Amino acid sequence: MSRPTRLGPSAGLVVLGVFVVAGLALVLAVSGRLSALNEAVSARLVSEQPKSSGSGANEAMGGVAEAGPAEQLAREATREGSSGKLTRPRPDEVACNAEVVGEENGRVVAVYRVDRGRLGELCYGSDNRVVLDAWSALNEFADPMHLEPIRLFAGVESDALAAFAGPLSDPPYQDFLIAVDVYSAAGDAEELRLTMAHELSHVFTQLPGQYYDKLVAVGCDTYYNGFFCFEDGSYIADWVEAFWDEEVLASLPRSGVVDAEGGDTRCLLNPAFLGTYAASHPEEDFAESFSAFVFSVEVAPEVQAKLEFFRDYPELVAYRDRAENSGWTQLRNGFDRCG
């Protein structure tokens, strides 16, 4: 899944200064930055767990929130497969090259390994400050448990996409890639954070336990996205039940791809979407709405019910709490207006 860029050509001018740096100085600076970043992330992985709304005083003390049903499904299945313990490759066993990231999405400039939620070594390309900043931004608000499935974090130069995320293997998905467009990331700090929240939602909604092993539409009583059937009680199944009726679902491409043309039409007719991209697919609708929720974006009254949806999940409310505690809240509304 991806997020289209909403930045103009001027974003490219901002990033030029980032790369005009002497080679040795860049390596030393990035190395020190990476070490400090991982120390901070490591502390969070040990002490910080999701917390419920209104428990800001507990945040600094590592307050713990009860996980909702969808989160419990994902966390239990992440640790246990249907026939026992899931095995994951070591970091150095995960292929790291431009082909894995997908050169069709833009020139790949940097790829870092990620191990248990910690950004690791550069395994392809050149050290890139913008990519490190994107990782740092993600860690400001992300649930450490949701970072663990990420195995590669990359930077690309894309004309069309602000970022994209996807699995690195066949189902059951355990290992994921997130890639960010370095021009978009350097151009707008608020947009970067909205984008990171959007892409991470594609990861935690596709973890084992969120969908059936049976990857066919026949017999799916919830929502089949063209690749698999979501479990009853999963984030996406609950979202579709709440906001996407059967007639609209039937109009989506059977292949599961984003319905850009249909999104334009749905956005024109229905003000309850955060833009045409949200209207193009239920999972993009979830991702766009989730990013707006995390950063307390002021939305139209017709959209508010979608943001309120996330309040039923303590682990997702904790995202909003962490964003607020880090000073990134009430971000401007740059979404297209529908209706």
Structure tokens at 153: 């974090």
pLDDT of residue 206: 95
pLDDT of residue 327: 98
pLDDT of residue 217: 83
The proportion of the chain whose per-residue pLDDT surpasses 90, expressed as a percent, equals 66
pLDDT of residue 2: 66
pLDDT of residue 200: 98
Identify the band that residue 41 occupies on the pLDDT scale cut at 50, 70 and 90.
very low
pLDDT of residue 5: 52
| 162 and 251 share one domain | no
Structural domains in the chain (count): 2
pLDDT of residue 1: 67
Tell me phi and psi for residue 206, to 5 degrees.
-120, 20
- What are the pLDDT digits (tens) for 261-307? 999 999 999 999 999 999 999 999 999 999 999 999 999 999 999 99
| 45 and 181 share one domain | yes
- Kindly state whether residue 193 falls inside one of the protein's structural domains: yes
| 28 and 159 share one domain | yes
- Lowest mean per-residue pLDDT among 51-55, 118-122, 229-233: 51-55
| 163 and 248 share one domain | no
Give the mean pLDDT of 14-42: 35
Scanning the structure block, which residue is given the tokens 């309120």?
Answer: 308
- Kindly state whether residue 333 falls inside one of the protein's structural domains: no
Q: Is 16 helix (H, G, I), strand (E, B) or coil?
A: helix
Q: Is the pLDDT of residue 81 over 70?
A: no
| 140 and 193 share one domain | yes
27 or 238: which carries more pLDDT confidence? Answer: 238
| 30 and 97 share one domain | yes
Give the mean pLDDT of 148-165: 96
| 112 and 242 share one domain | no
Residue 232 CB coordination number (10 Å): 14
- Kindly state whether residue 336 falls inside one of the protein's structural domains: no
Give the mean pLDDT of 158-175: 92
Identify the band that residue 169 occupies on the pLDDT scale cut at 50, 70 and 90.
confident
pLDDT of residue 246: 94
Give the mean pLDDT of 298-320: 98
Give the mean pLDDT of 49-76: 38
- Kindly state whether residue 225 falls inside one of the protein's structural domains: no
21 or 155: which carries more pLDDT confidence? Answer: 155
Which range of residues forms the domain containing residue 260? 235-325
| 89 and 177 share one domain | yes
pLDDT of residue 68: 60
Render 133-201 in DSSP notation, one character per residue.
Answer: HHHHHHHHH--HHHHTTEEEEEEEE-SSEEEEEEESSSSSP--EEEEEEHHHHHH-HHHHHHHHHHHHH
Tell me phi and psi for residue 195, to 5 degrees.
-65, -45
- Kindly state whether residue 279 falls inside one of the protein's structural domains: yes
| 29 and 173 share one domain | yes
pLDDT of residue 3: 73
Residue 256's contacts (CB-CB under 8 Å, 6 or more residues apart) are 225, 226, 227
Which amino acid would we find at residue 80? E
Q: Of 35-44, 50-59, 209-218, which one has max mean pLDDT?
A: 209-218
pLDDT of residue 69: 57
Q: Is the pLDDT of residue 319 over 60?
A: yes
| 197 and 247 share one domain | no
| 71 and 159 share one domain | yes
- Kindly state whether residue 211 falls inside one of the protein's structural domains: no
Tell me phi and psi for residue 311, to 5 degrees.
-65, -15
| 67 and 169 share one domain | yes
Region class of 124: left (phi > 0), else alpha (psi between -120 and 50), else beta: beta
Give the mean pLDDT of 197-208: 97
